[in-house]
């Protein structure tokens, strides 16, 4: 029998004014947990608690995106992009080259009847152009590498938001990045945040 939704998720959803999404995010957490037994969406030994932590981390990115279109690079199990879509911003693209992970993402989009979010099976370096307002990612590579790949494909008033630990942020060039501490830090007991970069202002 699966555990009830942790209080930490309920608190997070209240903070971002999305308490009505609790049921859907619980369903999503259970899907990640069940599929992970055979598909390796996240770390093999991830518990349901670990998965809820990923969801909470992702949910606190939502206020910085709101209704802007987004592309989630290396979406994997849907952190953070699919969480953002479930929370209400469906104008997104989940970039994921792996067949198995892309299949999981499509399954979830169909299950939650999210029609505007699409899955694109490509790597960032193979994209011709990034049209979305915001590029988001749980830093799958060094932030500088993601930045260098992305800015060649971006035009106009767009920005990059990467989910990182505070330690990762400390290592980055402060002239390039603005570090935003995440409200998830006090809920999860670990220092995390977002690195923000706006190419048009450089």
CATH number of the domain to which 187 belongs = 3.40.50.150
Residue 175: inside a domain: yes
Residue 72 pairs in a beta bridge with 94, 136
For residue 156, pLDDT beyond 80: no
pLDDT value at position 142? 84
Percent of the chain exceeding pLDDT 70 equals 97
Average pLDDT, the chain: 92
Q: Which residue has the tokens 């990059």?
A: 160
Q: Over the stretch 95-121, which tens digit does the pLDDT of each residue have?
A: 999 999 999 999 999 999 999 999 999
Q: Where residue 170 falls among pLDDT bands split at 50, 70, 90?
A: confident
Average pLDDT over residues 141-163: 89
- Domain that includes residue 105, residue range: 7-201
Residue 86: inside a domain: yes
Residue 184: inside a domain: yes
Residue 158: inside a domain: yes
Residue 134: inside a domain: yes
Residue 190: inside a domain: yes
Residue 121: inside a domain: yes
Q: Where residue 47 falls among pLDDT bands split at 50, 70, 90?
A: very high
Whole-Å CA distances, 171 to 108, 164, 168, 190, 197: 35, 11, 6, 17, 15
Residue 2: inside a domain: no
Q: Over the stretch 69-99, which tens digit does the pLDDT of each residue have?
A: 999 999 999 999 999 999 999 899 999 999 9
Q: Which residue has the tokens 């990034």?
A: 130
Q: Where residue 176 falls among pLDDT bands split at 50, 70, 90?
A: confident
Average pLDDT over residues 13-23: 97
In angstroms, rounded to a whole number, what is the distance separating the alpha carbons of residues 146 and 70? 15
Count of domains for the chain: 1
In angstroms, rounded to a whole number, what is the distance separating the alpha carbons of residues 146 and 196? 12
Instruction: Give the predicted TM-score (pTM) of the model.
Output: 0.94
Q: Where residue 1 falls among pLDDT bands split at 50, 70, 90?
A: very low
């Amino acid at each position: 029998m699966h555990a009830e939704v942790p209080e930490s998720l309920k608190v997070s959803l209240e903070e971002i004014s999305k308490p009505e999404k609790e049921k859907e995010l619980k369903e999503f957490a259970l899907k990640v947990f069940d599929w992970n037994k055979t598909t390796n969406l996240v770390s093999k030994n991830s518990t349901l608690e670990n998965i809820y932590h990923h969801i909470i981390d992702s949910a606190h990115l939502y206020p910085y995106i709101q209704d802007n279109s987004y592309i989630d690079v290396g979406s994997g199990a849907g952190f953070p992009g699919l969480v953002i879509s479930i929370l209400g911003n469906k104008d997104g693209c989940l970039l994921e080259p792996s067949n198995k992970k892309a299949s999981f993402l499509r399954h979830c989009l169909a299950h939650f009847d999210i029609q505007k979010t699409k899955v694109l099976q490509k790597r960032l370096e193979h994209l011709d152009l990034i049209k979305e307002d915001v590029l988001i990612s749980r830093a799958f590579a060094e932030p500088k590498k993601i930045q260098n790949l992305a800015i060649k494909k971006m035009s106009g008033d767009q920005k990059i938001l990467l989910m990182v630990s505070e330690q990762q942020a400390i290592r980055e060039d402060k002239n390039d990045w603005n570090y935003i501490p995440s409200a998830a830090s006090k809920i999860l007991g670990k220092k995390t945040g977002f690195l923000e970069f706006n190419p048009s202002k450089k």
